[in-house]
Amino acid sequence: MAVPSEHDDADAKRNPLIPVGLTVLAILVIPLGIYSFGPEGPIKKNQVVFSTGQHRAHFAKGSQYDEYRGYCILQARDQLLVVESAEDRGDGSYLARMLGTRKQEFPACPAQSHVILYEHQITLRPDTWGGLQDALGRLFPSG
């Protein structure tokens, strides 16, 4: 009859960690996948939207900010609140207010500024994978 060794006991204790780790990973990754591939509905008034990348956005009131020339630059994943939808405006553009209170440097759009945007510049869902990549880049800087 074989006598169990210490090596067999260590393997038996370690084996449950692999399924538990895979389960935790699945719990974290599956919602991200479902969220990022789900359908996107129409953009309506009072919804929070996100910039799809770097875009030029014109101010609703061109002379609102002296140091700007009537426009500012949206950064990827900037949050905005839709003040007027494209249906309300009639010309296919959206009036949105920048969200956030952090200090923006020129030429980035100032917080709480009202800008005119078009459908290709905004989305209802943030770029999940780009945000994840930025977060990992902050945790593990490369040089």
Say which residues have a Cβ less than 8 Å from residue 100's Cβ, sequence separation at least 6.
78, 79, 111
pLDDT tens for the chain, 143 residues long, are 556 555 555 555 567 888 888 999 889 888 777 766 666 778 889 999 989 889 999 998 877 777 778 888 998 888 999 999 888 888 889 999 999 766 677 788 888 889 999 999 998 877 666 666 777 777 788 76
**CA dist., res. 138 & res. 142, Å (int):** 9
